Structure 1
């Protein structure tokens, strides 16, 4: 008896879930380390820092590391990809290559960084795109 074929949409849904998970982890971890800065964010102290954007005060830097970071867009991208996968739509291969390249660049410029893990969903998306072709 032959094993059942793997659904072509499964790698896409899994890739989306991994991407969303990485976005959530980024937001949760960075917010956990920066909750003490929240009062400054709520009093508009982030607006027009004294030295401009060249020398960020810690409160502004913490904002860009947390809520202003790639975490939320990464979460939304992951949810979108999973949604597409459940509808049997495979994102184009260039999206997977761009995701992997972005993760590589992030990992090269900022270590320690789990950004290199973006190659895992990128590889799943490349496999799915190849199966579709």
Structure 2
């Protein structure tokens, strides 16, 4: 369950980022991003290039990929992820669902439930290895 949750989190982050860059054509603004055009852009009235940047590379997509990869890495090292990761992801997902109902937030909700369930099962099955113990061994 933990492994499935990690892959779902990575999938969601990657799909959002790559979808923004390709389907929503945010990558067309990459030239502006790397020439300093956004340095003095007003966040209150974003330019199309700034909006595209925040929708793609500066969005929650890349950090979700890192969170999912961390969950998978921990699972591969037989370390149970801390439950705060699942609770934080779940709370953030529910806020997102309320704010933007017509988004694929149920994917992250499923990942949250899988992660919480996997964490509970791992705790019931025996002692949990700490990150320090896993690194030493």
Of the three residues 60, 79, 91, the one matched with 2:50 is 60
Q: Which residue of 1 aligns with 2:107?
A: 117
Q: Which of structure 1's runs of 4+ aligned residues deviate more than 4 A? A: none
TM score, norm. by length of structure 1: 0.84
What is the deviation of 1:111? 4.0
Q: In the alignment, is residue 103 of structure 1 matched against residue 59 of structure 2?
A: no
Q: Which residue of 1 aligns with 2:32?
A: 40
Give 5+ residue unaligned stretches, structure 2. 125-137
Q: Is the 8 A contact 1:103 1:117 kept in 2?
A: no
Question: Alpha carbon RMSD of aligned pairs, Å?
Answer: 1.3
Q: Which residue of 1 aligns with 2:133?
A: none
- How far, CA to CA, are the matches of 1:106 and 1:30 in structure 2? 17
TM score, norm. by length of structure 2: 0.82
- How far, CA to CA, are the matches of 2:33 and 2:100 in structure 1? 24
Report the count of equivalent residues.
121
Q: Which residue of 2 aligns with 1:88?
A: 78
Q: Is the 8 A contact 2:8 2:107 kept in 1?
A: no
**Bigger relative contact order, structure 1 or 2, given CA contacts below 8 A and separation 6+?**
1
